[in-house]
Chain A
Amino acid sequence: MVQGIVTAPALEEVALQVPEMPPILPPGSDNGDPPGWQPPRREPVVSNAVLGMLMFLAFETMFFAGLLGAFLVFRLSSTSWPPPGEPYLPIGVTWFNTGILVASAYSMRRAHRAIRDGSQAGLVHGLGLTALLGTTFLAVQGSEWIRLAHHGLTLQSGTYGATFYTLIGCHGVHVLAAVLWLATVWVLAARGWFSREWHGGIQLCKMYWMFVVGLWLVLFPSVYLM
């Protein structure tokens, strides 16, 4: 008979005193399992680490939803965007930059695939490429920011400048964090840290990277194209 962990004598007695009569519980209550029944050992559908990461990404999504909401309030209520006198955003270069990020998502996927197939070299190569593409994205964006600042677009330039720098800047900081994470994982991978059986860290890193790329695919049309 299964006793759980309580072996206090009082409970043993309770169990023995029970008469042979089907218990009548109030409607809706749980009659419990018959004795001897062992619950099947279930494996969690998603591991702790992945679930935790998903929750974290949900938090991040809502954070950006707040910033994006603020942007949309100003964007949709204004008749001319950019406001008179403010520079246009660099669309051509940013299309190119978007392409770079999309390519990095692909290389990240390849890195993850590689280690799932047990290829260390493929992993190191894929991670390195992704980090490189991410750095390129940041570099291009940084140089564009400098150009915009020269054209007089600053945080203080009304809501146009404020929402642009805040929203795109917050995304940039996230890309930077993701690149640093990638670099760490890349060094570890080069030292043979991961294997076909053990590469949870790569999956988490990939989730975060995909989030950053996916977020850009929302921000780019909203901020640059709309």
Chain B
Amino acid sequence: MADPAVMTAGPAVHVHHELGFWRTYIFSTDHKMIGRQFLFLGLFMLIVGGALAMLMRWQLAWPETAVPGFGWVPEPYMVEGIIPPNTYNSLFTMHATIMIFFAVMPIMIGCFGNFLIPLMIGARDMAFPVLNMVSFWSGLLGGLVMLAGFFVPGGHAAGGWTAYAPLTAKAIYTGVDWGQNLWNISLIILGVSSMMGSINYITTVVNMRAPGMTWFRLPLVIWSLFITAILLLLALPVLTSALAMLLFDRNLGTHFFLPEGGGEPLLWQHLFWFFGHPEVYVLVLPAMGVTSDVLSTFSRKPIFGYRAMAFSMIAIAFLSWIVWGHHMFISGMNPLLGTAFMLSTMVIAVPSAIKTFNWLGTLWGGSIRFATPMLFALAFVSNFVIGGLSGIFMASTPVDIFIHDTYYIVAHFHYVVAGIIFAMFAAIYYWFPKIFGRKLNETLGKLHFWPTFIFFNGVFFPMHILGVGGMMRRIYNPLQYEFLQPLQPINVFITANAFLLGLVQILFVVNFVWSLIAGKPSERNPWQANTLEWAAPSPPPHGNWGEALPVVHGGPYEYSVPGMAEDYLPQNQSRRPSPTLAKRHGPSGGQVTA
């Protein structure tokens, strides 16, 4: 393998080279610009996905009444403002699809992966900048194909984001024809896009770390993105193969998932969840990484148990391949197999719990600064605890047989997956100064945080009660069941909170746009943080580091080192002379444990 003739140095850098408008802003190969592009794509899709959710909430609170202001939507999408059942099915399908694949993934992985990896490991760019650009543009193409599905006859995909066959395997079953096809095609394109991203991330982290940046000096957010990239690289192709088979079933007359031709509907579920469970960790790992960095910085304390954090992410990465059956407990699987999946699922809660306790350990005794990023990161932890605990209930087969496909599940995954939005906001408030060179307004940020946190819990906490009360997931009109009618006030309460939650996001949009144009210019290191990206100018120039690459001398979380004048110690700052230290260090800069 190590053929000297194929050794290539990093990409050539033209620090002083001026690029035109198109190469700078549109077809850019600069990892920072690509990161920004992913951010805008993701935020736009977040608004689209959010709007779909609001429509669903209207229907659930006041079923089959006209949505105010929507009278203009033509049939068959809406009937004089009333959401018909088919449209409702498309709404929840597309809400989840857009949020997962086109909002959370582009922002957490596309934007922050691209922006942070080279800067935090001290590289000038990604290993394959052109591939990186293609990754963004194919991702955008996937997004456009997905949006196009709204405008084809028959409406958009309506089989749920899990697209269970045979429902999705034949157009006549749902009446959806091209919507489901476009859904499949879009996700196949997105798979290729994220493959290119993953290849880039992995290669960059392995090969392009700055001198002195050893594996255990990597910030945890980089660890998380690295592991995410590996999971994504290995999980998505399985979905791609299933999507291709589903497309063949729909259009070429094969019978992979159709029982009438000898096919096996459960095969779809197995393939989907073999991808699906690693996928939920793909979503949450970067959020965990961001949270670790933010908590440590704003507690002015080293992260508690750095290595335990890294190793628990690695453990999650391994375990997430053997738990997928917990989504299929009621599919009639062999009880012995069900028990095995139950046990593995409970085991995966252990590394998750390790991370949670380490976050609390980080906070313990810190001089906490309640800046906006910190508030959002703390909220992420609090939501994750709730979502993680409900996960353990559901992991237990007998319990899950009762609550499967109820609002209890909806509550669980929103506490974890929608909870990621809090880590996303933490990341945006934290790195905005580095990304755009200006600060977001702190007062507006806090005004954004508190109602967001309160209304989020107002929306999702009562769903546990609905679920235990028997309200099914993906139901069009709960009032059709007598036993659900007494629960209707809860639905109204949730909807009210959801609308308020949506409304207060305007504060964020205003803050974002206003700060982008007229925010206070930021210094290099506005939060007094240690990691390398803060050593570059805000925003960093093309090539990031000027003439010389940074040299790394220590770990990422050395805050409040006793005896130091400042409470932070940037990774690229040399440590003071100390004969004892020099003696104890091997040439590789090994670790000293007290």
Contacts and interface: CB of A to CB of B under 8 A. Distances in A.
Interface of A: 1-6, 8, 11, 13-15, 17-41, 43-52, 55-56, 58-67, 69-70, 73-74, 77, 83, 116, 155-156, 158-159, 161-163, 166, 196-200, 203-204
Nearest to A46: B1
Contacts of B216: 30
Given A39-B551, A70-B267, A63 B238 contact: yes
A41 B587 CA distance: 11
B240 A63 contact: yes
Contact of A40 (B2, B239, B587): B587
A32 B573 CA distance: 10
A118 to B, nearest CB: 11
Contact of B574 (A2, A20, A48, A74): A2
A32 B545 CA distance: 22
Contacts of B589: 32-33, 37, 39
Interface stretch (B65-73, B107-115, B202-210): B202-210
B579 to A, nearest CB: 8
Nearest to A162: B254
A60 B191 CA distance: 12
B532 to A, nearest CB: 8
B233 A55 contact: yes
A182 to B, nearest CB: 18
Interface stretch (B97-105, B257-265, B375-383, B458-466): B257-265
Kindly name the residue among B6, B212, B262, B581 whose own CB sees the greatest number of chain A CB atoms within 10 A. Answer: B6
Nearest to B554: A32
Contacts of B574: 1-4, 15, 33, 35-36
A12 to B, nearest CB: 10
B550 interface: yes
B373 to A, nearest CB: 22
Nearest to A67: B241
B199 interface: yes
B256 A159 contact: yes
| Chain B interface, >50% SS class | loop
Contacts of B120: none
Interface string B243-281: 011001000111110000111100100110000000000
A197 B7 CA distance: 10
B233 A59 contact: yes
Contact of A49 (B8, B546, B587): B8
Contact of B262 (A3, A25, A48, A158): A158
Interface in B509-565: 524, 535-536, 545-546, 548-555, 557-558, 561-565
Nearest to B275: A66
Interface of B: 1-3, 5-8, 10, 127-128, 131, 195, 198-200, 202-203, 206-208, 211-212, 216-217, 233-242, 244-245, 248, 252-256, 261-264, 267, 270-271, 302, 305-307, 524, 535-536, 545-546, 548-555, 557-558, 561-566, 569-578, 580-582, 585, 587-589, 591-594
B240 to A, nearest CB: 6
B563 A18 contact: yes
Contacts of A55: 198-199, 202-203, 233
A21 B577 CA distance: 9
Contacts of B212: 33, 39
18 contacts: A4-B573, A6-B535, A14-B573, A15-B573, A28-B593, A31-B575, A38-B211, A43-B7, A47-B3, A48-B127, A52-B203, A59-B198, A65-B238, A156-B255, A159-B256, A161-B254, A163-B256, A166-B244
Given A25-B558, A33-B554, 18 more contacts: A5-B536, A23-B562, A28-B307, A32-B558, A33-B575, A33-B589, A43-B7, A47-B3, A48-B8, A59-B233, A62-B235, A65-B241, A67-B241, A70-B271, A73-B264, A162-B256, A196-B5, A199-B5
Given A14-B573, A48-B8, A66-B242, A59 B553 contact: no
B555 A29 contact: yes
Nearest to B11: A48
A1 B573 CA distance: 10
User: For A24, A59, A161, which residue has the most chain B Cβ atoms within 10 angstroms?
Assistant: A59
Given A29-B557, A66-B238, A156 B253 contact: yes
Listed from nearest, the 3 A-B pairs whose CB atoms lie closest are: A4-B572, A32-B554, A66-B241
Contact of B206 (A4, A14, A51, A63): A51
A43 B3 CA distance: 12
Nearest to B198: A55
Contacts of A48: 8, 10, 127-128, 203, 207-208
Contacts of A60: 237
Contacts of A25: 302, 558, 561-562, 594
